Amino acid sequence: MAPAVEKAGSVTIVLIPGKSLDSGNTRSFKEHIGPIVAANHKLIFDLSELTFVDSSGLGAILSCLRQTNSAGGDLKLCGLSKGVRALFELVRMHKIFEILNTREEAIRAFGG
């Protein structure tokens, strides 16, 4: 479950793989994403492949945001499906994360 990583200038874009981020794969997600988050301060998580996220998945993404913020960086999200976006809104995480429709919008949001 290694994520695909791309660079756009100083911004690192991470395509979160798989259809779901849940209790069954959150540990693997954290193991793969940890070094990426530690090494980059301008991050975009592209969630376009995800159709389901549960509370452990939300917690893992939130943990990445906290780690990035504590290092003086920021984490933006893009490509959320209707279902995933509805969950983020239901638990008010859309107030915590900057959520954009496309990678291009997310890159521009960093001023790139």
- The CATH number assigned to the domain with range 4-109 reads 3.30.750.24
Per-residue pLDDT for the chain (112 aa), expressed as one digit of tens each?
Answer: 689 999 999 999 999 999 999 999 999 999 999 999 999 999 999 999 999 999 999 999 999 999 999 999 999 999 999 999 999 999 999 999 999 999 999 999 998 5
Fill in the amino acid letter for 57. Answer: G
The Cα angle at residue 89 between residues 51 and 112, in degrees rounded to 5: 80
Domain residue limits, the chain = 4-109
- 98: three-class secondary structure by DSSP: strand
What is the reported pTM? 0.95
